[in-house]
Amino acid sequence: MDDIKLFEAKQVRTSWSDKEEKWYFSIVDVIAVLTESIDANGYWRKLKQRLKAEGNETVTNCHGLKMQAADGKMRMTDVVDTEQLFRLIQSIPSPKAEPFKLWLAQIANERLDEMQDPELTIDRALEQYLNLGYSESWINQRLKSIEIRKELTDEWKRLGLKEGHQFASLTDIITKTWSGQTTKEYKTLKGLKKENLRDNMTNTELILNMLAEASTKEISEAVDPKNFNESKIIAKQGGAIAGNARKELEAKTGKKIITGLNAKTFLDDNEKKL
């Protein structure tokens, strides 16, 4: 994401939406970087007409946001989210767009491979975490947390609960109950936006989160709730088990378990110790 926002030392204006939890990018800035056009606005107008004629609504149904212009004033400009941005890049015939296109093709190929062999997903995750500098003990905890999360969501699917809003609501209840923070508050505490919260937890935070989700799954299997409201009660019960463990541990150690540390800070600290 940072490579996109600052490409070849040319700034692409961006805006983060807290409500939608996504980045928006100025289209004319992207075009100016990739095409070096002296009239990026004119280039975009012609490109938009061509894309509309081709029936490409993903990019052409963009919307406008006020962003600071070169003269310092806030002016409306067309923006795209990340998905639309990649569609836009694919539509621009420019040598500078090729690295992005090749990267997208590679990602698509890897995803197809993982659909055929799910074990590849775990292998790639392990490799990526190692490359980022995470410790092996943390990686082992993280991979286990993925397994436990999958078992919980499988249980919710068995009950006929809906992915998206219902899954997110139940997760929020579990998180709030064990940590004292909603998912959004927890991410704000750690200075996160789109990043995965679990990827930014310490070992102890991960362990307690796993306990909360594993407990919720076990209780759900035992009780067999009949609807979403009953599952909300169980989510709170599962979260409370880990919440009580957190409070007891904090009382014994005198230290807060929930921390503002994120992956960048604790990886930087580990690097300084090496």
Task: Give the per-residue pLDDT at 59.
Answer: 72
| pLDDT at residue number 84 | 84
Residue % of the chain over a pLDDT of 90:
37
- Report pLDDT digits (tens) over 13-24: 888 777 777 788
Quote the pLDDT of residue 15.
82
Mean pLDDT by 10 residues, the chain (274 residues): 51 77 83 84 88 77 81 85 82 76 65 60 69 80 90 95 93 97 92 87 93 97 96 97 97 94 71 37
Ranges of each domain in the chain: 2-112, 118-273
Tokens standing for residue 209 = 């989160």
Count of beta carbons in the 10 Å neighbourhood of residue 183: 16
pLDDT at 240: 97
pLDDT for 272 equals 38
Q: Which residues contact 2 (CB under 8 A, 6 or more apart)?
A: none
The answer to whether residues 171 and 183 touch, using CB atoms and an 8 Å cutoff, is yes
**DSSP codes of every residue in 178-237:** HHSS-HHHHHHHTT-SSS-SGGG--HHHHHHHHHHHHHHHHHHHHH--SSHHHHHHHHHH
Structure tokens at 195: 């990043």
How much is the CA Rg of the chain, to the nearest whole Å? 22
Place of tokens 């919980």: 152
Averaged pLDDT score across all residues of the chain: 83
- CB-based contact 37:31 (threshold 8 Å): yes
Q: What is the pLDDT of residue 270?
A: 54
CA 214 to chain centre: 22
Full-model pTM: 0.62
Is beta strand 6-7 parallel, antiparallel or unpaired with respect to 10-11?
antiparallel
